[in-house]
Amino acid sequence: MIDYLNQQLPAAEQDALRAHLAHCPACQEELETMQHMWHTLGSVRVPEPSENVRPAFYSMLASYKEEQAATSKFSLAGLRQWLQTLVLPRPVVQLAYSLCLVGVGLAAGWWLNTRKVTPSPDQQQLASLSKQVEKMQQVMLLTLIENPSATERLRAVSYTKELSSANPRVVEALLSTLNHDENVNVRLATLEALAALAYDPAVRLGLVQALPQQESPLVQSALADVMVQLQDKRSVQPLRRLLAQPDLNEAVKSKIQESLKSLSDGQPSKSSTSTPKTYHETLHHPRPDRAARTIV
């Protein structure tokens, strides 16, 4: 919808989305809400910098110049020139210069190894603020993941890209969304977020356990690709049970057979390492399973 509002969609997709909006009250309401939010943000006044910014900057610059002017002018290049002015044979000068360099290197190494590095107050404050922002993002994720709007749930899932690590509550919420969300696009986005967190053993186990719970062919295929990328052998039995289902989609059946072969060979298949197809929420039916079968 953002591309639609920015007039950035190709003409065919623009027309298709406009036709969909004409018969979908839920998407119409979503579009009106987004337009209202954009108009509201556009009316927010841009804060002006303080009048003291420029004088404070030049005062800081002047202080820095004074400190630099007061520092010693000693340098290795000057020491070398001084040694060269002495009436000494050139090999002696070179030897003295080399010994000075070795001594300086040893002293610097000892100083760096023995010195305790303590973060400055600014660095400590920045680290504290970063932790607070990450906690707020996790709270926003846990709040929006239960929102009735699929767009808000997608936004919640996108917060995982900004988290350095996910706590157990976030992982549990994402796995629950993958298994129970009614929108196929939300589940696909959640699967992508969980795949990025697959270094966590709890996430890998949750993805394996999610295999039997998926009914959408799109999610089944994407989850099979993730299992191949992770090369998790625990997924072999769930995939075989899924393959034994009599009403399994033919395209999914072919995908699972290919995934089982890749898991047996220990090599990801070409299709599983390719860039996954992007799914747009507005181009799918609100009931994901039936829409997914139609698309496949």
What one-character-per-residue DSSP string does 177-223 give? HHHH-S-HHHHHHHHHHHHHTTTSHHHHHHHHHHGGG---HHHHHHH
As a 3-state breakdown, the chain gives helix, strand, coil percent values, each rounded to 5, of 75, 0, 25
Distance CA 103, CA 117 (A): 23
What is the DSSP-derived secondary structure letter of residue 85? Answer: H
C-alpha distances (whole Å) from 121 to each of 64, 118, 127 are 20, 9, 10
Mean pLDDT of the chain: 76
Residue 119: the pLDDT is 63
**Are the CB atoms for 189 and 170 separated by under 8 Å?**
no
Residue 69: the pLDDT is 74
**Residue whose tokens read 């039916």:** 285
Cα torsion at 81, 86, 88, 89 (round to 10°)? 30
Residue 235: the pLDDT is 84
Distance CA 41, CA 44 (A): 5
Distance CA 192, CA 173 (A): 14
**Are the CB atoms for 232 and 203 separated by under 8 Å?**
no
Residue 80: the pLDDT is 60
Distance CA 114, CA 262 (A): 52
How many other C-beta atoms lie within 10 A of the C-beta of residue 172? 14
**Are the CB atoms for 147 and 153 separated by under 8 Å?**
yes
User: Is-above-0.75 flag for pTM?
Assistant: no
Domain limits, the chain: 130-295
Residue 94: the pLDDT is 65
Q: Domain 130-295 is of which CATH architecture?
A: Alpha Horseshoe (1.25)
Number of helical (H) and strand (E) elements in the chain, helices listed first: 16, 0
Size of the chain in residues? 296
- One digit per residue, pLDDT tens: the chain, 296 residues? 888 888 888 888 888 998 998 999 999 998 898 888 878 877 877 777 777 777 777 788 888 888 877 765 555 566 666 555 555 555 655 666 677 777 878 877 777 666 555 666 767 777 777 777 777 777 777 777 888 888 888 888 887 777 767 778 888 888 888 888 888 888 898 888 888 888 888 888 888 888 888 888 888 888 888 888 888 888 888 888 888 888 888 888 888 888 888 888 766 555 554 434 444 433 344 434 433 333 33
- Which pairs with CB-CB distance under 8 Å and at least 24 residues apart come from 96-104? 100/76, 101/76, 104/76
Residue 275 amino acid letter: T
